[in-house]
Amino acid sequence: MHSDLKIRTKDYALSVIRVFAELPKRTEAQVMGRQLLRSGTSVGAQYREASRAKSNADFISKMEGSLQELEESEYWLELLAESGFVPEERLAAVKKETGELKGIFVSIVVNAKGKSKNPKL
């Protein structure tokens, strides 16, 4: 699972980079795009940091950081679509992946929090 998520989060970052590269050069689109670029590429970086966590609490904190970046990415994707800068269908795949990664990361955090409460598991 670890290597799959490592690859998947990097692929996610690459898809965000491609969205950014295709944005109109208008100031508004570029500002939102840079925000998306920052948050979308941070997901995998934080996931990699989590995989090297020194404790369960550190792991949970870094995974929750990845979740925050996914939430923020979702917001910028919504704004880009709803503002009309990017057609909804162009963002459909990256929005779907954002939702799927959020679900996976929530599950991982919930399981990790459960283990910290029941260390014998």
pLDDT in tens, the chain (121 residues): 567 999 999 999 999 999 999 999 999 999 999 999 999 999 999 999 999 999 999 999 999 999 999 999 999 999 999 999 999 999 999 999 999 999 999 999 999 998 766 655 4
In this prediction the pTM is 0.91
CATH architecture of the domain 2-117 equals: Up-down Bundle (1.20)
Distance between CA atoms of residues 48 and 93, nearest Å: 23
**pLDDT in the model for residue 5:** 95
**pLDDT in the model for residue 24:** 96
CA dihedral 82, 13, 17, 75 (to 10 degrees): 20
Which tokens belong to 97? 């992946």
Which tokens belong to 54? 């020194």
**Segment (H or E) for 67:** helix 56-82
**pLDDT in the model for residue 2:** 66
CB 44 within 8 A of CB 10: yes
Contacts 24+ apart (CB under 8 A), 92-101: 93/15, 94/12, 94/15, 94/16, 94/19, 97/8, 97/12, 97/15, 98/12, 98/70, 98/73, 98/74, 99/74, 101/8, 101/9, 101/12, 101/43, 101/70
Per-domain residue ranges for the chain?
Answer: 2-117
